[in-house]
Amino acid sequence: MFDKVIQDLDIECHYEKTQVKLKSYSGHQISTKGEVALPCEYKRNVFHVKFHVVEIEAPPVLSVETCKEMGLRARKLSLQQHDIPERPTDLDQSILDEYPDLFHGLGCLPGEHTITLDPSVPPVNHPARKVPLSLKEKFKGEPDRMEKAGVIVRQTEPTEPSSYGTEHEKSISSSTPRNAE
């Protein structure tokens, strides 16, 4: 919970020191001012919930345990495993045979295309997602394969800094195409 939220609520409380270390989704450590127990009401029941008070602007987050204790609706996800055949089935093979031009190469469209970005929309930079351990071997050679196919280009020197947090007025069409270097 952001310290300013407590100030805006005009709640008088004292932070207890904590040894808990918080990390963001991107792996950066978030410094805490301490923790505080605040009364939270839901369906006429009052719960005393512990919040970690942080120095950065962030929305209050309830843990799964707190949500269960308060009787909040929990999202239940189920995974279904489907066996994907190694070789195409007869139906798949007939489609591949009938339309071979659609299932060859990268799927690049012919001609030149221009994409213009709206300068009033701020760019967003999301952290890379972690690859599950079970898929690491499969993904290990993927960058080399993509480089050989001409999809990506290996960088040997620093690239232009991310535009995260700055105004972005360039359009993609004004930048130099990768294959023109």
pTM of the model: 0.38
Specify which of 81-85, 122-126, 138-142, 176-180 reaches the highest per-range mean pLDDT. Answer: 138-142
C-alpha span between 175 and 173 (Å, rounded)? 6
**pLDDT tens digits for 128-175?**
788 888 888 888 888 888 888 888 888 888 766 554 444 444 444 444
**CA–CA dist 30, 79 (Å, integer):** 32
Domains of the chain, by residue range, sit at 3-70
Alpha-carbon distances of 87 from 73, 98, 109, rounded to whole Å: 43, 17, 28
Distance of CA 130 to the CA centre of its chain: 10
Residue 169: what pLDDT?
Answer: 42
Average of per-residue pLDDT values in the chain: 75
58 falls in which pLDDT band (50, 70, 90)?
confident
